[in-house]
Amino acid sequence: MLIAFQGGDMSGKLSTKALRSVGVAALLSLVAACAGVARPEASRLPVVTDPAPIVPGTMRRYQVRGRWYQPAEQPGYDETGLASWYGDQFNGRPTSTGERFDMHALTAAHKTLPLPGLVEVTNLANGRRIVVRVNDRGPFVDNRIIDLSRGSAEALGMLQAGVGEVRVRYLGRAPRNGGGTTLQYAAATDRAPATDAAPSTRGDFWIQAGAFSDRRAARRVADQLGDRATVDVDRNDGLFRVLVGPWADPNAAERSRQAVIARGYADALLISAR
């Protein structure tokens, strides 16, 4: 372009000036565009203008199952680990803050963060993110960093899996009421969690959630564990066994076992049909 203007000094200067003007305008447009498109998470995180006070007594050092925990203000808290969820069994009961547990609300339990507080939780399997109100203590299970309400787990797409790897980031004090929100900006090509894979119809591995002498009790447990669970009668001892599966892959079966444990069946076993 510049070579074409070398024959005339004035026209060359004008053309150069015009090119510079176009370049500056384009640069300003680009800057304006970048400034105008806020990251979804930044634009939708709740702004707390009237934070609830920390509930008295919830910051004291406490002991559960022989282990001590020290709650503290942790403004830089940003951890990755396993999340589980809890629901029917605790619905309506008081939480550590005195609030009633609503399993459908976006809430969670944490061992040491201030109560009530807000955290951002990201499901690392599919990118979904939510903000939840932390109003309870737990989970008191090794390698779990947060216990989600049923509603929170559902919003993150990990209801079926039972447990999943998440990132938890502390946002600060919660408002006097609510504060939970779903951040709708997961990628369109979300990967389903590995534990959500459908069980094989020709699998060799099963999860035994429990064995019961009462058929109705076994049926209730199977109903709670979803359509993958069945009740099988053991002809040797007459017990009704609740089985989940089958699974062709022992690794998938083990993930399922962990999910069953997270639902409250600590004695769940991985059994092989071979």
Global confidence as pTM: 0.55
Maximal C-alpha separation, the chain: 104
**% of the chain at pLDDT higher than 90:** 36
Q: Which whole number is the average pLDDT over 97-108? A: 94
pLDDT in tens, 200-241: 445 678 888 889 988 888 888 888 887 678 888 877 778 898
Q: Which of 94, 95, 82, 160 is nearest to 121 (CA)?
A: 82
Instruction: Compute the distance between CA of residue 102 and CA of residue 84 in angstroms, rounded to an integer.
Output: 16
**Backbone dihedral angles phi then psi of residue 31, each to the nearest 5 degrees:** -65, -45
* Least confident range of 37-46, 161-170, 264-273: 37-46
Instruction: Compute the distance between CA of residue 107 and CA of residue 109 in angstroms, rounded to an integer.
Output: 7
pLDDT in tens, 161-183: 888 899 999 999 998 887 777 76
Residue 163's DSSP bridge partners are 84
Sign of the CA dihedral with 213 first, then 199, 146, and 179 last: negative
**Structural domains of the chain sorted by starting position, each given as residue range(s) with its CATH number in brackets:** 62-194 (2.40.40.10), 197-272 (3.30.70.1070)
**Per-residue model confidence (pLDDT) at position 183:** 65
Q: Which of 71, 57, 68 is nearest to 112 (CA)?
A: 71
